[in-house]
Structures are given as C-alpha cells and as structure tokens.
Amino acid sequence: MTRIFAVANQKGGVGKTTTSINLAASLARMQKQVLLVDLDPQGNATMGSGIDKSQLELSTYEVLTHQCSTRQAIVMASDAGYALLPANGDLTAAEVELLEVDDKEFRLRNALAEVMNSYDYILVDCPPSLNMLTLNALVAAESVLIPMQCEYYALEGLSALSSTISAIQQSLNPTLVIEGIVRTMFDPRNNLTMQVSEQLKQHFGDNVYRTVIPRNIRLAEAPSHGLPVIAYDKGSTGAQAYLALAGEVLRRSMQPGTTTQQLQEGHEA
C-alpha cells in the first residue's frame, strides 16, 4: 500500500527540503518506488534533484490548477533514483487561484490518487508556512514527518505544528497522524543541542527517530550539484544517516502512527 508523507515544519531552515530529497533517494536505493512532490514555490527540491526549475514545461502548478494530468507533469530525477513532481515560482499563483475553487483543500489529494498505485512512497516537501499549499499536503497525506533542529525555539514550533495538524485532523483529514520527528543539523558538541534532544526524547519518546542527521559538509554541498548526498558522496556521514533514517521509516511503516493528541500530551508533560 502506498504511504504518503507530508514533510512539514512551519519554521524555515530546519532541513525540510534536505530531508525530503535525501530520504526519497535513500528509499529508492532500498528498491522502493518513490515520488517526491515539490510543493514549495522556491523549487529547491526540484533543483536539488537535478531538474532545472526554469526550464519546466509542466509543474505542480499546472497539476493543481487542472491544466494537465499528474502523470504528464512527473519527470524522472535519474541520478537521484526517484520520480519528481517539480515546482517553480509559478506555484505562487496557485495559492491565490485555489482560493476561488470549491475543492481547494483536496486538489493535491485528488491529483495523487491518479498515480499513487505506481509508488510505494510519496513524499511531499511543504513550504515553511501554513498556507493553501501546506494545507493541501496535510489533507493529501496520511502522516507527517517533522524535521527539526535541536534549538531553543524547537519545542514551541513543534507545539504550533501539532495544533495545526490537530485542527486539520478534526475538519479535513481525520486519519492524519504524526509519522515521526527527525533531529537535523545535529551537533553533539553543542550543549544546547544535547539538552533539547534529551527534552524531545523525554517528552515524545518513540515519536523521535533514533537516527540523527548531523551537520555535514557533503550534505550541504550536494544540492549545488543537483544530487542527493547518497549520489554525491555515499560514504559521507550525511549519506549514511539518511540511509539509516530510511531504514527506520521502512520499519515504522509496518506500525500505526502517533496521534496528534499523544504528541500534544508529550509536549505538556
């Protein structure tokens, strides 16, 4: 059965797109059929997958506005090993245009229904804000994967995202759950990093992936080459970390997700 994850965090700069690209590539290396959906008008997941966003003929924008089918817009990110529904700045217009249609929250869900039987995993890279695009992702997904840095405002941001997911759960997608929390840009030499990490594990337990994603030069360099880190330098610590995360995701896919209520109770503990 196809698993659809929204990779989301309302806070920017937490490694969301990096996680989307590298988790998709790592799952593909494990012989899974993967589709990465770029739902951010910045198009960073598209460029990081080796696709020039300025040269796109069809993109997520055309799919959401019913100008083409989902299959028509999908391209292969050959070096990365997965299929991609790409995006560029045109997607900004979709936010405005969707406000005028009746089924605005369900456009992505309906678009993915057309192709989901072709993939084991569909990962949706969300914008770093709560807007109509993110709302579409959370309605389309069955669960949410949350990348976050272990920094001062991390728990506050996690609480806000949890509240957003809870609201969507109550109104538009009652089966939505939290897939897991992945700690990114992890530096064990930083005392604050370690303190926040311990807080996360204490409050959220098994909701926190065991795998941590380290700060890594190769991981930072890979997007400029249009490659996931596993294709850029498979021996790097960043590549090995995302392979380990993919292994955890595969194992967790066999288990039920966490409800938003459980996550909120952990935060309040």
CA–centroid distance for 81 within its chain? 17
Q: Calculate the average pLDDT of the chain.
A: 91
Domains of the chain as residue ranges with CATH: 3-268 (3.40.50.300)
pLDDT in tens, 172-210: 999 999 999 999 988 888 888 888 888 888 888 888 999
pLDDT in tens, 33-44: 999 999 999 999
* Burial of residue 18, with CB atoms counted within 10 A of its CB: 0-12 exposed, 13-18 middle, 19 or more buried: buried
* Beta pairing class for 82-85 and 34-38: parallel
Question: How sure is the predictor about 269, in pLDDT bands with cuts at 50, 70 and 90?
Answer: very low
Question: How sure is the predictor about 255, in pLDDT bands with cuts at 50, 70 and 90?
Answer: low
Cα(28)–Cα(105) distance, rounded to whole angstroms? 29
Question: How sure is the predictor about 12, in pLDDT bands with cuts at 50, 70 and 90?
Answer: confident
